[in-house]
């Protein structure tokens, strides 16, 4: 709510709705101040939700804000407006406006390599090899952590939601099937050969 409070013996309170309000000694003024120093139509207040603007309308004794003469100026909450010799104070309800913190904009993420191969969620230059079965994100082999299970198969965990990942198979644009996945780390079995030592060749006997 916006109010204009007139001080002194001419005291009174006037509520200011959005719009224009003329102040003067004339009974046709929106806000009548019957004082000899106030002109018939002295000044005008333009009120909107954000500001109150005061315009002097050619008054005889002038219009002042905090002692400074004005022709047109903004009247702030709590400032003293002098209409001639009459002091008037603007009173506005102050509301705290809370602006929520907005998340930072996330730049567009590449989803495939130049040849159309789907890329890793974390590494835009590496082909996807594994797919999370829960969040459906694609990852390269370096991103997915494998854990061994005693007596069972090796399991791979999604680095985002920590659920199960499986090898990712992609069908190329030409319809041909390409395997980009397989296992993140190929487990190679090494065979140790035990070679028998060669037989010692018999030396030729000496002739007597």
Is 180 within 8 Å of 170 (Cβ atoms)? yes
Q: Is the pLDDT of residue 194 over 50?
A: no
Q: Is 111 helix (H, G, I), strand (E, B) or coil?
A: coil
* Maximum mean pLDDT: which of 78-92, 111-125, 135-149, 187-201: 78-92
* Distance (Å, whole) CA 163 – CA 155: 10
| More confident of the two residues 50 and 105 | 50
pLDDT band at 92 (very low <50, low <70, confident <90, very high): confident
Domain ranges (residues) in the chain? 2-92, 119-167
Cβ neighbours of 135 (radius 10 Å): 13
Q: Is the pLDDT of residue 57 over 80?
A: yes
Strand partners, 185: none
| More confident of the two residues 39 and 2 | 39
Half-sphere exposure of 179 (CA within 13 A, CB side): 6
Token pair listed for 100 = 């929520």
Pairing of strands 19-24, 31-32: parallel
Is 126 within 8 Å of 114 (Cβ atoms)? no
Task: Go through the chain and tell me how many residues it has.
Answer: 208
Q: What is the mean pLDDT of the chain?
A: 78
Q: For 107-129, how does the pLDDT look when each residue is reduced to its tens digit (9 = 90+)?
A: 566 688 888 889 999 888 899 99
When the candidates are 2.60.200.20, 3.40.50.1820, 3.30.930.10, 3.40.50.620, the CATH number that belongs to 2-92 is 2.60.200.20
Q: What angle do CA 86, 87, 91 make, to 5 degrees?
A: 140
**Backbone φ/ψ region at 116: left (φ over 0), alpha (ψ -120 to 50), beta:** left
Average pLDDT over residues 124-139: 90
Q: Is the pLDDT of residue 55 over 70?
A: yes
pLDDT band at 206 (very low <50, low <70, confident <90, very high): low
Q: What is the pTM of this model?
A: 0.45
């Amino acid at each position: 709510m916006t109010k204009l409070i007139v001080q002194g013996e001419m005291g009174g309170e006037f509520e200011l709705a959005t719009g224009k309000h003329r102040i003067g000694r004339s009974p046709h003024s929106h806000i009548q101040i019957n004082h000899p120093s106030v002109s018939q139509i002295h000044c005008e207040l333009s009120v909107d939700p954000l500001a109150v603007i005061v315009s002097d309308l050619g008054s005889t004794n002038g219009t002042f804000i905090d002692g400074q003469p004005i022709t047109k100026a903004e009247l702030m909450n709590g400032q003293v407006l002098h209409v001639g010799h009459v002091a008037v104070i603007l009173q506005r309800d102050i509301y705290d406006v809370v602006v929520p913190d907005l998340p930072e904009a996330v730049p567009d993420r590449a989803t495939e390599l130049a040849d159309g191969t789907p890329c890793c969620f974390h590494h835009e230059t590496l082909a996807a090899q594994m797919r999370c079965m829960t969040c459906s994100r694609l990852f390269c082999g370096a991103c997915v952590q494998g854990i061994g299970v005693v007596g069972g198969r090796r399991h791979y965990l999604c680095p985002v939601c920590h659920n199960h990942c499986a090898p990712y198979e992609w069908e190329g644009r030409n319809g041909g099937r390409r395997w980009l996945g397989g296992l993140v780390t190929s487990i190679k079995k090494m065979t140790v050969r035990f070679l028998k030592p060669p037989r010692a060749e018999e030396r030729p006997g000496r002739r007597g």
